[in-house]
Amino acid sequence: MREIRASGTWGSALTTDEFAAIRSVGFAPVGQVLGAAVYNVGYTGGYNCPGAWGGFGGWGTPAQTVTQVSGRGGWGSFGPLVQTMYDARHKAIDRMVSECAELGGHGVVGVRLSIGSFPAGGLEFKAIGTAVAAPGAPLPTGRRRPFTCDLSGQDFAKLVMKGWVPAGLVLGISIGSRHDDWLTVGQTRWGAGNAEVVGYTELVNEARHDSRRQLEADVKRLGAEGVVISGMEMRVRERECPVQEGRRDHIVEVTAIGSGITRFSRSAEGNQSGRTLAIMSLDPQRRQAARVRI
């Protein structure tokens, strides 16, 4: 990082439009930054049956089971797995932020988080972005750290022009699980007709709500005022119940990723409201047609 900084050149993952947008609000790229962590995922916490009688050693199928979510814990929840996913992502982000600080940056824009299999075993958690700096502004020191966000260059510029700045990436991860019971089995049979499967609805809703709670907790951790969401992904899968033969567990994974933001100026929006913005077409044919009409 010191060699790159001393070279007088910089790299980025920005498009031309992103570069122009960032420059328009007083920032300049100082280099591409990366953070990675490879984790072996061992104990996930989800080896027991989630909420069914079978989870306590019995073999009877209950009339109705309960939904377990990782944020709440409980028998058969995936709390340890979710905690590992948080730890790995935060470690990758922290290493990316350290590279940003070494390059003299104030923050990182356009962060892309990814998870992939590592050839030697385990999972690789990776964070890549472009470090940017505002020339002449003091660098973050002490407890203040460079900001991170997954906003594009254009969205970052819009945010700054409206008096807001990113505080950091925030995550909301939840895994919900539910064991088959007689109610869900009956409601999913061919002869059940067009009817809501109440157990599945509860599973999806509770996993989404738990993900939102974890996201809000991450926003508070950063001291941000709110969050702009870049993406929310939900994956649904099922597995053979590890305790009860012939029954299945249904698992929903919800991941929400966004950028925590905070306000630095309350006058920016007010100043924009009364202004008239003149827009002139760059198309020469349109300009000529306008002259003819005049």
Residue 153 domain flag = yes
DSSP assignments along 78-110, one per residue: -HHHHHHHHHHHHHHHHHHHHHHHHTT-SEEEE
The reported pTM is 0.78
Q: Do 157 and 21 meet the contact criterion of CB atoms below 8 Å apart? A: yes
Residue 129 domain flag = yes
The residues with which 176 forms a beta bridge, in sequence order, are: 69, 252
Q: What is the pLDDT of residue 54?
A: 40
Here the CATH number for the domain that contains residue 78 is 3.30.110.70
Query: Residue 254 pLDDT more than 90?
Result: yes
Residue 282 domain flag = no
Q: Do 150 and 250 meet the contact criterion of CB atoms below 8 Å apart? A: no
Query: Residue 191 pLDDT more than 70?
Result: yes
Give the count of domains, the chain: 1
Residue 124 domain flag = yes
Query: Residue 108 pLDDT more than 90?
Result: yes
Tell me the C-alpha distance between 210 and 214, whole Å.
6
Residue type, 169: L
Can you give the residue range of the structural domain that contains 187? Answer: 2-264
Tell me what the pLDDT averaged over the chain comes to.
83
Segment among 29-43, 143-157, 178-192, 226-240 with least mean pLDDT: 178-192
Residue 292 domain flag = no
Give the residue-averaged pLDDT of 137-158: 89
Tell me the C-alpha distance between 116 and 37, whole Å.
11
Q: Which residues have C-beta within 8 Å of that of residue 2, sequence separation ≥ 6?
A: 102
Tell me the C-alpha distance between 250 and 241, whole Å.
9
Closest to 113 measured CA to CA, from 37, 41, 212: 37
Tell me the C-alpha distance between 177 and 55, whole Å.
13
Residue 8 domain flag = yes
Residue 276 domain flag = no
* More confident call, 66 vs 205: 205
Residue 281 domain flag = no
Q: Do 12 and 32 meet the contact criterion of CB atoms below 8 Å apart? A: yes
Write the Ramachandran bin of 277: left for phi over 0, alpha for psi from -120 to 50, otherwise beta: beta
Query: Residue 48 pLDDT more than 70?
Result: no
For 255-287, give the secondary structure using H, E and C.
Answer: EEEEEEEEECCCHHHHHHHCCCCCCCCCCHHHH
DSSP H helical segments within 192-275, as ranges? 198-222, 267-273
